[in-house]
Chain A
Amino acid sequence: AQSVAQPEDQVNVAEGNPLTVKCTYSVSGNPYLFWYVQYPNRGLQFLLKYITGDNLVKGSYGFEAEFNKSQTSFHLKKPSALVSDSALYFCAVRDGNSGYSTLTFGKGTMLLVSP
């Protein structure tokens, strides 16, 4: 079975500071990894994904994430946080070796950026 752990329910950071939202995963085959963001009363929006290739992937709104196979992690990062980045962030994984597998989400991490 595949799973995602987001160990922090909430991350607080001051505007202008770097931010990290943590994600670790468990999957039997090659991981396909995704980050989504959810603003209040809105649907989930895709931020970035790792399928293969360069371990550092860049996505929307200046976010990036680093795939670390040995640590089974895919932490989301941004060099300089904005107040408008405050939202709920979800990491998700699917098994790339299975032909088809569901996309499994973590429970989410609330990011609060203070002015």
Chain B
Amino acid sequence: GAGVSQTPSNKVTEKGKYVELRCDPISGHTALYWYRQSLGQGPEFLIYFQGTGAADDSGLPNDRFFAVRPEGSVSTLKIQRTERGDSAVYLCASSFDSSGTGELFFGEGSRLTVL
């Protein structure tokens, strides 16, 4: 596809369960970002990949959150032992430019609800 694709679009899970969220960036984009957006708030940075490596994971809230990008394209955000406070929309974005001057292209997000 032409844009950033995120699956699933909606995920409902129970407290304590494990969740995986997938992001397929725009082809050729080496930079990939995960953000989290809670109701009434702006996107909050989680992690940034340049190629296969996590260049900045300072936004991950705790060690229950982990993300991978093994082949430098698709990325998976993994959340262990989910808590109700993890409920949010998880946004993925990609960029061709790693210098910081280029805009980010966002997917439509994965809405996670933890019951």
Could you tell me which A residues sit within 8 Å of B by CB distance?
4, 32, 34, 36, 41-46, 49, 51, 90, 92, 94, 96, 100-108
Contacts and interface: CB of A to CB of B under 8 A. Distances in A.
B4 A108 contact: no
A5 B96 CA distance: 27
A102 B56 contact: yes
Contact of A44 (B59, B91, B100, B101): B91
Interface stretch (B37-45, B68-76, B79-87): B37-45
A102 B98 CA distance: 11
Contacts of A42: 108
The DSSP consensus for interface residues of chain B is loop
Given A4-B42, A41-B108, A43-B108, 13 more contacts: A32-B100, A32-B101, A43-B109, A44-B91, A46-B103, A90-B43, A92-B42, A100-B56, A104-B45, A105-B35, A105-B42, A106-B42, A108-B40
